[in-house]
Structure 1
Amino acid sequence: MSLSAVIRKDFEDSIRSFSLLSTTLLFVVFATGLAAIQWIPVMYRDSAVDASTLALLNSMRQPTVFMIPLIGFVLAYDTIIREQDRGSLRLLLGLPNSRLEVVFGKFIGRTGVITVSILVGYTVAGVIALVTYESFDFVVFSRYTLLTVLYGAVYIAFATGFSAAMKSRQQAFVGAGALYSLFLVGWDVLLLVLQLAIYGQNIPETGLPDWFKFIGLLNPSTAFMHAVRAVIPEYSAITFYPQGSAFYLDDWVGFVILAVWATLPLVLGYLRFERADIQ
């Protein structure tokens, strides 16, 4: 049994457990509802990109940032540890498969699930926009869709890494929930606490230093926004972040940060899984 077989098995398991179907239906409902919102903020009615397309992206911005990580964690937080609880992990490893193949096969399989769900849901939204909007930029929306898939893959990596590293589903669930809270709620709080600890209530006249702004960019959700801005420059009209002169604050750095976040949890999870005693 090879890596491709692990991927295929995991994807087929998601079909049998209705994970693929339920996630896809969720994305269809989510994207369809947002596609029906055609309010166009004044700030970018004269944009070079089709205003209706930007209106749709504006509607999807915050729900995407919060919803994709949640679905990614739910889909993959127990993808490996569940096999151990059921007693099927030893069988999976004895076919034979290396532990590396199991970890990365599970990651790719679950990424396939969220990819199919996003593509189906966003395709439905695109068709609705194409039929009902006065105009619609298919290319821009396609880029945003692919970037959303990348964003989802990052959180699948987080969850898979936790599933490989933890000793129980409860630990994996708590760890995934803690990370979700940190990235989506706690990061800004930590930045505020750090700012108050260093500068108090008096921000320097020149503004916060570039290194401080970079800490904000390290959040994968913020990195996703910067990556979108790098590919869709007009997206800057609906997102605002402090400007800096350092190269590491450029929008393209968002891709680097997402790549690091997608790799690090998998590597750490695998290293812990490789040393684990499988019962």
Structure 2
Amino acid sequence: MDLRQVACIAQKELRDRLRNRWVLAVALVFTVFALVIAFFGGAQQGAVGLRSIEFTITSLVSLVIYLLPLIALLLGFDAIVGERERGSLDLLLALPVTRLEVLLGKYLGLAAALTLSTVVGFGLVAVVLARNATRAGLEAYAGFMGSSVLLGLAFLSLAVMLSVLARDRTRASGLAIALWFFFVLVFDLLLLGLLVASGGESGAAAFPYLLLLNPADVFRVLNIFSLDDVRTLYGLTSIVPAALAKPWLMALVMFGWIAAPLGIATWRFRP
């Protein structure tokens, strides 16, 4: 594998997203939503304005779980199948470049665009929050931004996998939406149903480990234990054992969610 070929394809993908203002648009979406949550997140309790950074992180976690996976899936679902339908994939593969270089180059370019928009969008909010935040709070917010990037990359890997497996863009887009619906909305309901059906006995021991099967839940657990106040605001601290409450362990699980779909996509994309 020639890393220069991979970098060239990645730069092309990133330039395309910068040229069509995709990065700017997504960064603005993150900034606007994050600022609205930071200023008006406590409106139901009769409080408007900047509150503690712990409260802001808690609210932003819920926003990111719904919004970022959808953006990542929509960004990457046609990375390969779209090129195939337009006929440009055959032309690209006719050049002195391997399929692995094409796949990794496209993923890294899209990953760079998604990472840039996420860091810029939430980074602008960090500038606003920095005036009233402690050092521990800013470190927790930096951890939140890093985990958000990992969540986006995990769902981008899933999107690229779907793009390799799907026969056309229509099926790829449908599968992407179904995947978002399952991981973000249905998965936790199934776990809760399992917990209730088992009477809270046999299912309670396996419940925290089943959360690892969903990158959105891994992201949630990763941020729950960033600060003491965040643990209090969430109700999962009594369910998740201390063995899983380690940020480095959850980060490794998230890296696994990034690598596994890419590995499947690489295997299926072979000639």
TM-score of the pair, normalised by structure 1: 0.83
* Residues 134 and 223 of structure 1: CA distance in aligned 2, closer, same or farther (over 3 Å): closer
Q: Show the counterpart of 2:235.
A: 240
Conservation of the 8 A alpha-carbon contact between 2:194 and 2:203: no
**What is the count of residue pairs matched by the alignment?**
261
Conservation of the 8 A alpha-carbon contact between 2:208 and 2:241: no
Q: What's the offset of the Cα at 1:250?
A: 3.7
Conservation of the 8 A alpha-carbon contact between 2:151 and 2:254: yes
* Residues 246 and 102 of structure 1: CA distance in aligned 2, closer, same or farther (over 3 Å): same
- Residue 167 of structure 1 aligns to a residue whose secondary structure is coil
Higher share of residues assigned helix? 2
- Aligned CA-pair RMSD: 2.7
* Residues 217 and 12 of structure 1: CA distance in aligned 2, closer, same or farther (over 3 Å): same
Partner amino acid for 2:55?
A
Percent of matched pairs sharing the same residue: 27
Task: Give distance in 1, aligned partners of 2:217 and 2:138.
Answer: 24
Is residue 2:222 matched to residue 1:227? yes
Q: Show the counterpart of 2:269.
A: 273
- Residue 27 of structure 2 aligns to a residue whose secondary structure is helix
Partner amino acid for 1:87?
G
Q: What's the offset of the Cα at 1:232?
A: 4.2
Q: Show the counterpart of 2:178.
A: 178
* Residues 120 and 265 of structure 1: CA distance in aligned 2, closer, same or farther (over 3 Å): same
> 1:54-104 deviations in whole A, cap 9, x for unaligned?
121122121111111011111111122111122111222222221111212
- Residue 78 of structure 2 aligns to a residue whose secondary structure is coil
Conservation of the 8 A alpha-carbon contact between 2:77 and 2:173: yes
Q: Show the counterpart of 2:200.
A: 203
> Residues 1-279 of structure 1: matches in 2 within 5 Å?
2-37=5-40, 39=42, 52-131=52-131, 133=132, 137-195=137-195, 199=198, 202-204=199-201, 208-232=203-227, 234-241=229-236, 242-243=238-239, 247=243, 249-252=244-247, 253-275=249-271
Conservation of the 8 A alpha-carbon contact between 2:61 and 2:223: no
Partner amino acid for 2:207?
F
Partner amino acid for 2:35?
T
Task: Give distance in 1, aligned partners of 2:207 and 2:37.
Answer: 34
Q: What's the offset of the Cα at 1:41?
A: 11
TM-score of the pair, normalised by structure 2: 0.85
Task: Give distance in 2, aligned partners of 1:15 and 1:155.
Answer: 21
